[in-house]
Amino acid sequence: TDLNVASRRAASASAFARAQDLMPGGVSSPVRAYKAVGGDPVYIRSGKGAVVTDLDGLEYVDYVGSYGPLILGHAPDTVLAALSKAAARGTTFGMPTEAESTLAAMVIDAVPSVEMVRFVNSGTEAAMSAIRLARAATGRPAIVKCTGCYHGHSDALLVEAGSGALTLGQPSSPGVPKDITQNTLLVPFNDLEAARAVFEAHPDQIAAFAVEPVGGNMGCVPPVEGYLEGLRSLCDEFGAMLLFDEVMTGFRVARGGAQELYAVTPDLTCLGKVIGGGLPCAAYGGRRDLMEQVAPAGPMYQAGTLSGNPLAMAAGIATLAELENPDLYGQLESTTRQLAEGLATRAERAGVPVQIARVGSMLCVFFAESPVLSYEQAVRCRTDRFAAFFNAMLERGVILPPSQYECWFISAAHDGELIKQTLQAAEHGFAAAVEI
Ligand code: PMP
Task: Assign residue 362 the CATH number of its domain.
Answer: 3.90.1150.10
Residues 318, 372 within the same domain: no
Q: Determine if ligand 1 sits within 6 Å of the CB of residue 12.
A: no
With a CB cutoff of 8 Å and minimum separation 6, the contacts of 427 are 346, 349, 350
Domain membership of residue 334 (yes or no) is yes
Which range marks the domain in which residue 290 is found?
77-322
CB neighbour class for 162 (10 Å; exposed up to 12, middle 13-18, buried from 19): buried
Which of 128, 212, 217 to probe ligand 1 with, by most ligand atoms within 8 A of CB?
217
Residue after which a domain boundary falls, among 322, 338, 361: 322
Which helix H or strand E contains 99, and what residues bound it?
helix 98-110
Domain membership of residue 72 (yes or no) is no
Residues 82, 215 within the same domain: yes
Residues 316, 386 within the same domain: no
Q: What is the CATH number of the domain that holds 160?
A: 3.40.640.10
Residues 102, 52 within the same domain: no
Residue after which a domain boundary falls, among 271, 298, 322: 322
Which of 119, 120, 248, 403 to probe ligand 1 with, by most ligand atoms within 8 A of CB?
248
Q: Which atom of ligand 1 is nearest to the CA of 124?
A: 16
Mean pLDDT, residues 285-291 taken together:
98
Beta strands in 94-155 (DSSP E): 116-120, 142-146
What is the rounded CA–CA span in Å between residue 177 and residue 36? 28
Q: Give the pLDDT confidence of 245-263 residue by residue, as tens digits.
A: 999 999 999 999 999 999 9
Q: Determine if ligand 1 sits within 6 Å of the CB of residue 216.
A: yes
Which residue's CA is the closest to the ligand 1 atom numbered 5?
A: 248
Residues 316, 346 within the same domain: no
Q: Determine if ligand 1 sits within 6 Å of the CB of residue 123.
A: yes
DSSP character at residue 223: P
Domain membership of residue 70 (yes or no) is no
State the amino acid at position 383 in one-letter form.
T
Residues 317, 343 within the same domain: no
| Residues identified as active-site | 150, 245, 273
Q: Determine if ligand 1 sits within 6 Å of the CB of residue 212.
A: yes
**Distance from the alpha carbon of residue 83 to the mean position of ligand 1, in angstroms:** 23
Residues 148, 281 within the same domain: yes
Residue whose C-alpha is closest to residue 323's, from 360, 352, 286: 360
Which residue's CA is the closest to the ligand 1 atom numbered 12?
A: 123
Residue after which a domain boundary falls, among 297, 322, 347: 322
Domain membership of residue 222 (yes or no) is yes
Whole-prediction pTM value?
A: 0.97
DSSP character at residue 118: E
With a CB cutoff of 8 Å and minimum separation 6, the contacts of 102 are 313, 317
Residues 314, 330 within the same domain: no
With a pLDDT cut of 70, the percent of the chain lying above it is 98
Residues 140, 240 within the same domain: yes
DSSP character at residue 74: B
Residues 116, 84 within the same domain: yes
- What are phi and psi for residue 21, nearest 5 degrees? -80, -20
Residue whose C-alpha is closest to residue 167's, from 364, 422, 370: 364
Residues 274, 143 within the same domain: yes
Domain membership of residue 405 (yes or no) is yes
Which residue's CA is the closest to the ligand 1 atom numbered 14?
A: 123
pLDDT, position 6: 62
What is the rounded CA–CA span in Å between residue 167 and residue 405? 6
Q: Which atom of ligand 1 is nearest to the CA of 123?
A: 12
C-beta of residue 123 within 8 angstroms of C-beta of residue 130? no
Q: Give the pLDDT confidence of 59-91 residue by residue, as tens digits.
A: 999 999 999 999 999 999 999 999 999 999 999
Q: How many structural domains does the chain have?
A: 2
Residues 220, 357 within the same domain: no
What is the rounded CA–CA span in Å between residue 244 and residue 393? 34
What is the rounded CA–CA span in Å between residue 160 and residue 150? 8
Position 4 confidence tier, pLDDT thresholds 50, 70, 90: low
pLDDT greater than 60 at residue 175: yes
Q: Determine if ligand 1 sits within 6 Å of the CB of residue 150.
A: yes
Domain membership of residue 69 (yes or no) is no
pLDDT, position 57: 97
Mean pLDDT, residues 131-148 taken together:
97
What is the rounded CA–CA span in Å between residue 92 and residue 328? 32
With a pLDDT cut of 90, the percent of the chain lying above it is 93
pLDDT, position 2: 54
Which of 64, 124, 154 to probe ligand 1 with, by most ligand atoms within 8 A of CB?
124
